[in-house]
Amino acid sequence: MAERSERDLRTVSTATNPDGDARPLSKSMATHSILRSAPARPAGKPEGFSVVGAALPRVDAYAKVTGEERFADDIFLPQMLFGKMLRSVVPHARLKRVDCTRALALPGVVAVATGADLPVRYGILPSSPDETVMAIDRVRYVGDPIATVVADDELTAEEALSLIDVEYEPLPAVMSIEEALREDLPQIHDNARRTNNVQKEVHLVFGEVDAGFAEADRIFEDEFFFDGNTHAPIEQHAVVAHFGADGKLTFWCSTQTPHYLHRIAAQVLELPGSHVRVIAPPIGGGFGGKTEPFAHELAAGYLARKTGRPVKICLTREEVFYAHRGRHPVKFKVKTGVKSDGTITACHLQSWLDGGAYASYGVATTYYTGALTTVTYKIPAYKFDGCRVYTNKPPCGPKRGHGTTQPRYALECQLDKIADALGLDAVEYRKRIAVDPYTTTVNGLRITSCGLRECLDAAASATGYTVKKGKLPRGRGIGVAASSYLCGAGLPIYWNPMPQSGAIVKVDRGGGVTVFCGTSDVGQGSNHMLAAIVAETLGVDVMDVRVCAGDTDLTPVDLGSYSSRVTFMAGNAAREAAVNVRQRIVAAAAQKLGILPERCALAARRVYDIDHPDDQLTFIEAAQAAEAAFGTIVGVGSYAPPKLAADYKGSGVGPSPAYSYSACVAEVDIDLETGEVTVEKLTVAHDVGRAINPAAVEGQIEGSAYMGLGEALMEEWPFRAGEHKIPNLLDYKTPTSLETPPIHAIIIETDDKEGPFGAKESGQGPLNPVIPAIANAVADALNARVYSTPITAEKILKAMDAAAGGVLRLRKPAPVAVAPV
Amino acid sequence: MSVAPAKALRTFALNGEGVQCAFAPNKTLLEVLREDLGLTGTKHGCEMGHCGACCVLIDDRPVLACLVLAIEVNDRPIRTVEGLAKDGRLHPVQEAFAQCGAAQCGYCTPGFLMTAAAIVEQNNRLGEADIRAAIAGNLCRCTGYTKIIEAIALASDRMHEAQPGG
Amino acid sequence: MLRLPPFVYKPAESVDHAVALLNRHGGDCLPVAGGTDLYANMKQRLFTPKVVVGLSSIAPLRYIAYNELTGLTMGALATISQIAASDVVRRYYPALAQAAAAISTPQLRNMGTIGGNVCVDTRCNYYNQNLDWRQALGFCMKKDGEICRVAPSSPKCVAVNSSDTAPVLQAFGGMVHLAGPSGQRDVSVGDFYLADGINAWARRPDEIVTAISLPPPGPFARSAYRKLRLRHSFDFPILGVAAVLHLDEEGVCVAARIVLNAIASRPLEARAAAQRLVGSKLEPEALDAAAEAAYALGKPLDNTSGSIPYRKRMIRVFTRRTLADIAGQATAL
Ligand SMILES: Cc1cc2nc3c(=O)[nH]c(=O)nc-3n(C[C@H](O)[C@H](O)[C@H](O)COP(=O)(O)OP(=O)(O)OC[C@H]3O[C@@H](n4cnc5c(N)ncnc54)[C@H](O)[C@@H]3O)c2cc1C
Ligand code: SF4
Ligand code: FES
Ligand code: FES
């Protein structure tokens, strides 16, 4: 490997490395493994593949390690102005007056905009448009945007904010789920149909629920509270907007969803869609926090148009906390009926979501707190009641695991209690009730490939779960949990019959291949995924493929990097586009080689006869022959999921063309005097379908495990006097290298029939089991359970005191006053 | 409006070269690098010392550019991610980060690389515990640190395995 | 991006020059060393000095010296990293090395100085926030406001002293050396800190800290420091316990100082706790009694991370453990 470190910067290539495994592991830390479930194959690249399955450096790795990668805030344009937003300093008020006269008079200030300039209401979900770019007559949380100033420099813009005169008429603030359900507090959004602050209610029943509970030998009822938390990507949201002389507006924006910004910018700025272009440069982490158009982006667009000069707005860290759209705080009541062998007969799940001030994706989130309950274990009868409320806090939305993370915590904790109560081994029990591949759930969700049992086996045997569980000394514990997740939502968020993803593959005469796709690489490696799929299909080196992504002018639509849809959907589109190109190359090459097209193989930049590999053309010769024969070589592909939704209201949330599966085993060591939890190791096995790039899949698993650790132990969402208490990265605790344990990522491959090369997803699914696995490990260590996240040292001490019969009782989440009916 | 004091003119020893630059005296090194010198490789995630994304080397020691006043640097040598590769060759930490998949979104990466470069250059082979302690001032939200630690260990092994002259 | 407000930066050429600059510019002027505290606070508009006097250019203040007769002297510009790594500090004042190593992050320790650390601003989570956040709160007594948000009836600000080294320096009986317009003066660390979150130091605005010194530890001194924080890096202490014990040849404790920090505006000397140890051989019962006495003394308030009951409860645990660290060293003699 030594020669690779001497690699010349100009000739980065993987073609010289025949087995493609360019990633040496330092011996001490080689803790990764790939296991393939039936049909079992030896670890390593699947047979016949040269790029898919290879742990290659990503195509953009070298740009990232040299500082060359240009993120949105790294873009500086001539004449650029800098914008700052004035934000509400009260949680709830009528806005009586916003006067920018003094701000505009400040030398260096170029323009100002307020809510009145942009009155169009919008929302990421067409069914709940409750936002305007800036407040018009009401502010709804501390941080709600009121006005935007652009100036020659950022300090001047900031100073101008202090010169804007705002008059508020304060209203009582609604700061909790309980308060939101009350009828004597003001409504945050006028809603004549209701008398409280409920935004969305869902009530669904599948199967014979009453009969199921009647049939049960034991019924378990528990309450849990999952606190909110936020994505905290290290890159603060940034946008540069430029309105050209041609009347066209271009955004360079740190967005996971360029297509949605395109749509909503056109709508809100009242421009034809053909005059709006959104470019997503590389994104410095998203995790769901950059999946919808933000006020500062639309304001930048408006002010770029108004001033004719480029406008940049980069949020401060505090503003990132206000932009939020993160994990909803959710209260749960879970009632599960089981036979004495643990077989589930019925389940009733109730969730109350604290949504913050706007709808965001909240309607979908509400459904998601119930929809996937049935996709992990067999549940023959299921009732779900969900309720999302408005509160005067930054709006919540999707964070990695969108809406499914919280109920998975509640359900897996309860499942452990059931296993304990019935004297069952928690792993064997889970395997027994795990869903079977190629079945349909009681709520009509189609399950295809499923490696859940393999995940459980792999995680358990890698850790010695069965021999350790219940037998470790007090203070040390081991816990398991399992989960499932989507590979993209079956339906788009705005109804339409078009594909969810499209791709174009183009070949140039020098043998270069470009794939155009609307995806936005947020760090998950979608650029590499596209390049790998195209390279594999065309038999070229992955570094021969240039990825042109996330540009609404140049690339076909991809709905965006959310809901773990990109590998499955954009991957399938890119595969189809590449196959189109391949057909023409093969046809032309077959003719030149004088063989049947079926005998042509493409690999290592060659097109050759499989029976006589020496009869070959270079890829360039073959591509040129194809161009001569057929004209310009461009292939297109697109992906639309099969029709999956069942026939009931709300059935649109939950269906997915495939589900990924994961299991986690957590090992913890608790200091019984301080309550401090040390997670010693996290082992996560994940059924990814097929690992297009195992190094990237491991990276997703490791990152998910880390993020789950933070949510389980330290990340919280506290408010005091109407304000977020800790809107900074010092007080909002994200784990450092010292709290993060070694993470063992185990890849399980099930080769999904519909996924590109068998792939499913790995970006979100592996997070879900981590939080309950840690909670279950803590319970194992203490013989006592904490019923809310984060599991802080203080809660642990209280749980221990309570278990010891001490005076301090563990405070379970307060019962919710009004149950949704 | 507060009167902006006159710009300061300074020469920096930046990535081995003398670079002259005029900038507002209240600017941090982070701002001057990114805005006045066009070196946007150095990132920022908080500007308060809370994240480590802005880490650069001054006198070969990792420091946070967001809390260093540019005019205080004087002639002390500054190294940024743009100066890590030499003569067309990547620094061993850069090579290892690329190979191990230690950069996911890559936004924290320049800060980690600078910390990593300092520790692999100044120490013998590093163990996992040393690496964890050394990068405890750099936050990453993508990787769980796993592959970052692997990459630094690999770079350290390679740097200290290498035969003299080889 | 959070930015510094405009100001004029004046590098000091010498201690006298620094003092003269501070004296000339009066209340609108602040000294800066590593800047890790001051610049962060200026970005939040907690301070908006017109003139900032740079001390980092005074090279003679960057030293660590040890001498058996006079003990340890640290120039104000010695960095936290240097102190944590110093052989003499680790050998003779282990608690100080532990405290230094527990400060913030590796990068910040390379930047921060001991002079800045002893003068680090008191902290409060109603105060260490951006300007707009504090405006939404309606400000507080320490900056731009009238009342204390933590203790509304308190006539004084109760922001907490958050220096990791302060309790250790006090436990060792250290001295702060100041230079001002009328010359040098020395103040014991115990007297340097005042019970007021706003006027928390005996330093006058036109004085600078030139050095901090600790007496020679003597042959049988033992010391330890423990810090409570939620993460093992970045985080300020939410409780600090420093202990320095002097033993005789038999291992009997002849003198002890225990200092708690990060629960009040100044380091708190737990005299009753120390008293429980004197005459003992650090038997478990003595340590328990001392921990109990420390517990009785500490009254944390709700202005840091971690709750009041938790931090209070940890005083006993952390005191006990700090003393056990020392007892462990003693048996290893
Ligand atoms: C993220 C973060 C985490 C931190 N964590 C900790 C922690 O865990 N523990 C801890 O103790 N500190 C912590 N700090 C605070 C700070 O970094 C250290 O206290 C550091 O030692 C301060 O030194 P400095 O030289 O940077 O101080 P500066 O910022 O230069 O100065 C601090 C204050 O002291 C004054 N001052 C500085 N030098 C002198 C002098 N010689 N004479 C008179 N006045 C002077 C300044 O005017 C200013 O008011 C943290 C800071 C940050 C940003
Ligand atoms: S203790 Fe009181 S006065 Fe002091 S900073 Fe906090 S809220 Fe303000
Ligand atoms: S930007 Fe400097 S530490 Fe975050
Ligand atoms: S790689 Fe994204 S923050 Fe570290």
The string of DSSP letters for A550-619 reads: SBTTTS--B--S-TT-IIIIIHHHHHHHHHHHHHHHHHHHHHHHTS-GGGEEEETTEEEESSSTTSEEEH
Nearest to A803 by CA among A377, A573, A456, A474: A474
- Domains (range + CATH), chain A: 73-171+236-283+290-323 (3.90.1170.50), 330-491+648-803 (3.30.365.10)
A794 touches chain C (CB under 8 A): yes
Write the pLDDT tens digit of every residue in B92-106.
Answer: 999 999 999 999 999
B108 lines ligand 4 (CB under 6 A): yes
Residues A92-121: what's their mean pLDDT? 98
Q: What CA–CA distance (Å, rounded) separates A686 from A749?
A: 8
Q: A-B interface: how many C-beta pairs under 8 angstroms?
A: 222
Write the pLDDT tens digit of every residue in C14-40.
Answer: 999 999 999 999 889 999 999 999 999
Answer yes or no: do B25 and C9 touch at CB < 8 A: yes
- Domains (range + CATH), chain C: 60-119+160-214 (3.30.465.10), 221-330 (3.30.390.50)
Write the pLDDT tens digit of every residue in A119-171.
Answer: 999 999 999 999 999 999 999 999 999 999 999 999 999 999 999 999 999 99
| Low-confidence winner among A2-6, A380-384, C60-64, C174-178 (lowest mean pLDDT) | A2-6
Q: What CA–CA distance (Å, rounded) separates A239 from A243?
A: 13
Cα torsion angle, B100, B106, B112, B116, sign:
positive
Answer yes or no: do C40 and B49 touch at CB < 8 A: yes
Q: What CA–CA distance (Å, rounded) separates A505 from A544?
A: 12
B67 touches chain C (CB under 8 A): yes
* Residue C288 dihedral angles phi and psi, to the nearest 5°: -60, -45
Answer yes or no: do C130 and A314 touch at CB < 8 A: no
Residues B124-143: what's their mean pLDDT? 97
pLDDT for A681: 98
DSSP C278: T
Answer yes or no: do C108 and B2 touch at CB < 8 A: no
pLDDT for A811: 44
Q: What CA–CA distance (Å, rounded) separates B160 from A560?
A: 44
Ligand closest to CA B112: 4
In angstroms, the separation between the Cα of residue C16 and the nearest Cα of chain B is 19
Q: What is the mean pLDDT of chain C?
A: 96
pLDDT for C331: 52
Mutate which of C77, C105, C109, C229 to disrupt the B interface (most B C-beta within 10 Å)?
C105
Q: What is the mean pLDDT of chain A?
A: 93
Nearest to B143 by CA among C308, A735, C213, C272: A735
Ligand closest to CA A524: 4
Nearest to C238 by CA among A792, A220, A145, A798: A792
Max Cα distance, chain C (Å): 61
Q: What is the pTM of this model?
A: 0.95
pLDDT for A815: 46
pLDDT for C218: 87
What's the alpha-carbon Rg for chain A, to the nearest Å?
A: 27
Q: Ligand 2 test: best mutation among C41, C44, C125, C126, most atoms within 8 Å of CB?
A: C126
Q: What is the mean pLDDT of chain B?
A: 94
Confidence bin at A46 (pLDDT 50/70/90): low
Q: Do the bridges between strand A218-226 and strand A198-206 make them parallel or antiparallel, or are there none, so unpaired?
A: unpaired
Complex ipTM over 0.95: yes
Residues A93-121: what's their mean pLDDT? 98
Confidence bin at A192 (pLDDT 50/70/90): confident
Question: Is the pLDDT at C181 greater than 80, yes or no?
Answer: yes
Question: Is the pLDDT at A106 greater than 80, yes or no?
Answer: yes
Two structure tokens written together for C244: 């320095």
| Cβ atoms of residues A723 and C133 within 8 Å | yes
pLDDT for C330: 55
Contacts of A756 (CB under 8 A, 6+ apart): A533, A567, A568, A571, A572, A574, A575, A692
Write the pLDDT tens digit of every residue in A443-478.
Answer: 999 999 999 999 999 999 999 999 999 999 999 999
Outline where C57-130 has alpha helix (H): 80-85, 87-92, 94-101, 106-111, 114-118
Confidence bin at A25 (pLDDT 50/70/90): very low
Nearest to A227 by CA among A442, A65, A405, A74: A405
Question: Is the pLDDT at A717 greater than 50, yes or no?
Answer: yes
Q: Ligand 1 test: best mutation among C104, C206, C230, most atoms within 8 Å of CB?
A: C104
Residue with tokens 């994961």: A662
pLDDT for C26: 87
For C276, the 3-state DSSP assignment is helix
pLDDT for A608: 97
pLDDT for A428: 98
Query: Which atom belonging to ligand 2 lies closest to the Cα atom of C140?
Result: 8
- Domains (range + CATH), chain B: 8-83 (3.10.20.30), 92-161 (1.10.150.120)
pLDDT for B139: 98
Residues A695-702: what's their mean pLDDT? 98
Answer yes or no: do B44 and C1 touch at CB < 8 A: yes
Q: Which residues in C have their CB inside 8 Å of a CB on B?
A: 1-9, 11, 32, 35-36, 39-40, 43-44, 54, 56-57, 81, 104-108, 110-111, 232-234
Mutate which of C62, C107, C113, C128 to disrupt the B interface (most B C-beta within 10 Å)?
C107
Q: What CA–CA distance (Å, rounded) separates A453 from A418?
A: 19
Where is C223: in which H helix or E strand?
strand C221-228
Question: Is the pLDDT at C332 greater than 60, yes or no?
Answer: no
pLDDT for A37: 44
Where is C208: in which H helix or E strand?
strand C208-214
| Cβ atoms of residues A736 and B134 within 8 Å | no
pLDDT for A22: 36
Give the Å distances, CA to CA, from C141 to A6, A299, A301, C149. 60, 36, 41, 8
Question: Is the pLDDT at A10 greater than 90, yes or no?
Answer: no
Question: Is the pLDDT at C112 greater than 60, yes or no?
Answer: yes
Residues C106-131: what's their mean pLDDT? 98
Nearest CA to ligand 4 atom 4: B140
pLDDT for B3: 53
Residue with tokens 């517990």: C295
Write the pLDDT tens digit of every residue in A295-313.
Answer: 999 999 999 999 999 999 9
* Residue A199 dihedral angles phi and psi, to the nearest 5°: -95, -40
Instruction: Enumerate the residues of chain A whose CB falls inside 8 A of the CB of residue B119.
Output: none
Q: Ligand 1 test: best mutation among C62, C103, C177, most atoms within 8 Å of CB?
A: C103
Residues A769-796: what's their mean pLDDT? 97
Write the pLDDT tens digit of every residue in C238-294.
Answer: 999 999 999 999 999 999 999 999 999 999 999 999 999 999 999 999 999 999 999
| Cβ atoms of residues A331 and A385 within 8 Å | no
pLDDT for A664: 98
Q: What CA–CA distance (Å, rounded) separates A32 from A54?
A: 14
| Cβ atoms of residues C241 and C260 within 8 Å | yes
